[in-house]
C-alpha cells in the first residue's frame, strides 16, 4: 500500500506557533518520526511513493479543481452568516459543527458574517441522496448521510378553545414529542385552568395524578423551566399530557397508543408532512495561513474576485512564519486588475483541509501505476465519524470530476468497512485516542518493552468494527502468554 501525509490545517499551524517553528520544518520532523514508528510496526507499505499535501505537486491540483469549479459556476463568494470557531478563529462548515461545538476544538460556535467561498453542493443534492440506496455501504453510514441531507418535518397545526377564545398553535418539528411539548408550553402559561395531567410512558397515556392550580401547589407548575420537560422526555421517554381542556377532541386521549393519537391528528388535519433539504452549501475559506492558497485576486475598486489562467498556478505557500502571521505581505502579492487596470491583491484565505482529502486517492494512481481511473475504489476502511464529512465531500467531488470528463464513474468507493476507534480512559472520562487530545501512546515503546506480536494480538482480539478501550496490562499479559507458549513448550523448543 501507499502512504500519504495530510499535513495542512489547524493542528499543524497551532503546533508550529506553539513551538515557534516554521510549519514545514515541524511537519518534516513529525513525518520522519511517524515513518520510523510505522517501520517498527512492520506494515507492508511501498515507501517509494509518498504523498504530501504540502507539496506543490499535490496542491497544484487543488487549485486547478478550484478554478474549474469557478469556471463552471459551482463556486460562489458570499458574505452570509456562517459558523465561526471562537478558539481556532476560523470558519467551519455545518458538517464540522457537532452539537453546537467545533469538531476539533470543542469550543462553542457562533454565527457571524464572513466573506467566504462556497461550493454549491446543493446542485447535486438529488443525485447524492437518491444514489445512497445503491451503495454497498454499512446501513449506519447510509442512514447518517440520509438524515444529514434530507429531513421530513411535520407542520403541526392545533386549535384550542380556552376562556371563550380560540388559540392556534403551529410549528415545524421533526418529532411528534416536540409537538406535544408545544401544546404543553402553551397551556402552562395560561392561568385559571383546571388540568388533569396524564403521563405518557412506553407509548401509552396513563392517568397519573390530578393537580389543581388554584391550590398551594400552583407554584410548582408555574416555576418549571421549558427545557426541564423536554430533557425529561428525552432521557426517560415519558411526557406529561393534559386532558381536561376544551379542544375539538375531548376525552379521546385516554389509554390510547401514541401512534393512534398520531393517526387521529392526521385525520383531523392537525398534522401536515413537509419535506426539507437539510444540506447546505460547503464554505471552504479558512482564516489560516498553513493551507492551500485560494488562487484568486480581489480588486478593491471593482469589488470583485477573479482568477487568472491555469498557467498562473500553483500559488505557492509561504514557508516563512513571520510572513504567515501577517497573512502574506499584500504589497508583494499585488497584480493589475483585469478589468480596471488598478492594483488588486491575492486572496489571503486558504482552503478547507477536507478539499485535500476529498480526492487524494486519485493522485496515487499516476501514469507509472498500472491501475487506471475507469473504476472506483473497491474498499474504503475508515471511521464512522467521517460519514458526513470526508465521505460526503468525496462523493460530491467525484460527481463533479465525472461531469468535467476527468473520470468515468460517479461514486468514489464501492464498499466501506467502518472500523472502531481506540479509546483511552483518563480518570473517569473515556475519550478517543488522538494526537490532538494528547492521549496517544508511542508504539515503539510498547514494541521494545514487549514485542510486536503482543501488540498485534491485543488489537486483533477485539472486533475490528467496534471501539476498543486501551489497557497497557493487556499487552503485558499477551507478552507473558507468548513467552510461555514458545519457551516452555517442548514442541516449539525443538523447532526453535
Total number of domains constituting the chain: 2
Q: Which pLDDT score, from 0 to 100, does residue 251 have?
A: 36
Contact between residue 114 and residue 150 where contact means Cβ atoms under 8 Å apart: no
Domain range for 469 is 420-495
Whole-angstrom distance, CA of residue 443 vs CA of residue 381: 21
Nearest Cα residue to 340 out of 295, 298, 308, 301: 301
Whole-angstrom distance, CA of residue 377 vs CA of residue 417: 12
Contact between residue 128 and residue 399 where contact means Cβ atoms under 8 Å apart: yes
Does residue 251 sit within a domain? yes
Does residue 393 sit within a domain? no
Does residue 263 sit within a domain? yes
Averaged confidence pLDDT in the chain = 71
Instruction: Give the residue from 235, 259, 277 where a domain finishes.
Output: 277
Whole-angstrom distance, CA of residue 171 vs CA of residue 156: 5
> In whole angstroms, what separates CA 218 from the centre of its chain?
45
**252, pLDDT greater than 60:** no
What pLDDT, in 10s, does the model give residues 16-47? 777 777 788 888 888 888 888 888 888 888 88
Instruction: Give the residue from 226, 249, 277 where a domain finishes.
Output: 277
Does residue 107 sit within a domain? no
Does residue 243 sit within a domain? yes
**445, pLDDT greater than 60:** yes
- The least confident of 368-372, 400-404, 420-424 is 368-372
Instruction: Give the residue from 244, 277, 310 where a domain finishes.
Output: 277
Mean pLDDT of 1-5: 81
Neighbours of 185 (CB within 10 A): 13
Q: How many CA atoms lie within 13 A of 299 on its CB side?
A: 17
**128, pLDDT greater than 80:** yes
Does residue 55 sit within a domain? no
Whole-angstrom distance, CA of residue 174 vs CA of residue 6: 38
Whole-angstrom distance, CA of residue 458 vs CA of residue 194: 64
Sequence-separated (6 or more) residues with CB below 8 Å from residue 68: 404
Contact between residue 85 and residue 109 where contact means Cβ atoms under 8 Å apart: yes
Question: Higher model confidence: residue 407 or residue 152?
Answer: 407
The pTM of this model reads 0.72
Q: Which pLDDT score, from 0 to 100, does residue 207 have?
A: 36
Q: Which pLDDT score, from 0 to 100, does residue 249 have?
A: 34
Does residue 267 sit within a domain? yes
Neighbours of 236 (CB within 10 A): 9
Does residue 293 sit within a domain? no
ω into 314 cis (within 30 of 0): yes
Amino acid at each position: 500500500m501507499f502512504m500519504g501525509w495530510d499535513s495542512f490545517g489547524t493542528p499543524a499551524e497551532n503546533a508550529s506557533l506553539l513551538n515557534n517553528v516554521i510549519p514545514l520544518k515541524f511537519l518534516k520532523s513529525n513525518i520522519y518520526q511517524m515513518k520510523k514508528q510505522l517501520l517498527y510496526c512492520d506494515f507492508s507499505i511501498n515507501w517509494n511513493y509518498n504523498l504530501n499535501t504540502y507539496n506543490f505537486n499535490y496542491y497544484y491540483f487543488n487549485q486547478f479543481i478550484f478554478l474549474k469549479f469557478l469556471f463552471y459556476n459551482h463556486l460562489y463568494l458570499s458574505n452570509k452568516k456562517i459558523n465561526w470557531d471562537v478558539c481556532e478563529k476560523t470558519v467551519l462548515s455545518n458538517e464540522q459543527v457537532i452539537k453546537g461545538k467545533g469538531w476539533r476544538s470543542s469550543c462553542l460556535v457562533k454565527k457571524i458574517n464572513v466573506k467566504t467561498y462556497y461550493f454549491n453542493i446543493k446542485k447535486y443534492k438529488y443525485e447524492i441522496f437518491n444514489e445512497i440506496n445503491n451503495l454497498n455501504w454499512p446501513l449506519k453510514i447510509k442512514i447518517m448521510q440520509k438524515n444529514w441531507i434530507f429531513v421530513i418535518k411535520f407542520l403541526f397545526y392545533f386549535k384550542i378553545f380556552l376562556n371563550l377564545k380560540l388559540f392556534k398553535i403551529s410549528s415545524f418539528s421533526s418529532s411528534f414529542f416536540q409537538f406535544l411539548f408545544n401544546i404543553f408550553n402553551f397551556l402552562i402559561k395560561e392561568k385559571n385552568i383546571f388540568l388533569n395531567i396524564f403521563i405518557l410512558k412506553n407509548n401509552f397515556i396513563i392517568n397519573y395524578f390530578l393537580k389543581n392550580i388554584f391550590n398551594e401547589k400552583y407554584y410548582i407548575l408555574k416555576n418549571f423551566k421549558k427545557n426541564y420537560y423536554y430533557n425529561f422526555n428525552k432521557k426517560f421517554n415519558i411526557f406529561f399530557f393534559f386532558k381536561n381542556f376544551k379542544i375539538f377532541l375531548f376525552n379521546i386521549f385516554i389509554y390510547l397508543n401514541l401512534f393512534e393519537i398520531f393517526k387521529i391528528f392526521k385525520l383531523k388535519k392537525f398534522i401536515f408532512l413537509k419535506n426539507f433539504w437539510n444540506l447546505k452549501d460547503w464554505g471552504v475559506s479558512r482564516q489560516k495561513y498553513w493551507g492551500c492558497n485560494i488562487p484568486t485576486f480581489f480588486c478593491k475598486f471593482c469589488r470583485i474576485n477573479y482568477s487568472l489562467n491555469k498557467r498562473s498556478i500553483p500559488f505557492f505557500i509561504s514557508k516563512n512564519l513571520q510572513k504567515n502571521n501577517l497573512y502574506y505581505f499584500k504589497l508583494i502579492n499585488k497584480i493589475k486588475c483585469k478589468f480596471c487596470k488598478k492594483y488588486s491583491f491575492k486572496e489571503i484565505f486558504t482552503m478547507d483541509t477536507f478539499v485535500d482529502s476529498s480526492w487524494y486517492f486519485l493522485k496515487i494512481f499516476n501514469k507509472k501505476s498500472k491501475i487506471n481511473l475507469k473504476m472506483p475504489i473497491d474498499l474504503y476502511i475508515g471511521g464512522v465519524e467521517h460519514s458526513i464529512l470526508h465521505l460526503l465531500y468525496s462523493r460530491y467531488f467525484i460527481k463533479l470530476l465525472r461531469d468535467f470528463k476527468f473520470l468515468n464513474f460517479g461514486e468514489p468507493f464501492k464498499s466501506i468497512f467502518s472500523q472502531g476507534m481506540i479509546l483511552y480512559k483518563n480518570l473517569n472520562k473515556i475519550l478517543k485516542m488522538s494526537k490532538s487530545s494528547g492521549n496517544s501512546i508511542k508504539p515503539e515503546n510498547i514494541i521494545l518493552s514487549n514485542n510486536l506480536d503482543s501488540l498485534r494480538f491485543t488489537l486483533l482480539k477485539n472486533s475490528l468494527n467496534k471501539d476498543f478501550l486501551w489497557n497497557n496490562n493487556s499487552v503485558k499479559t499477551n507478552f507473558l502468554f507468548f513467552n510461555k507458549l514458545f519457551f516452555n513448550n517442548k514442541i516449539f523448543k525443538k523447532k526453535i
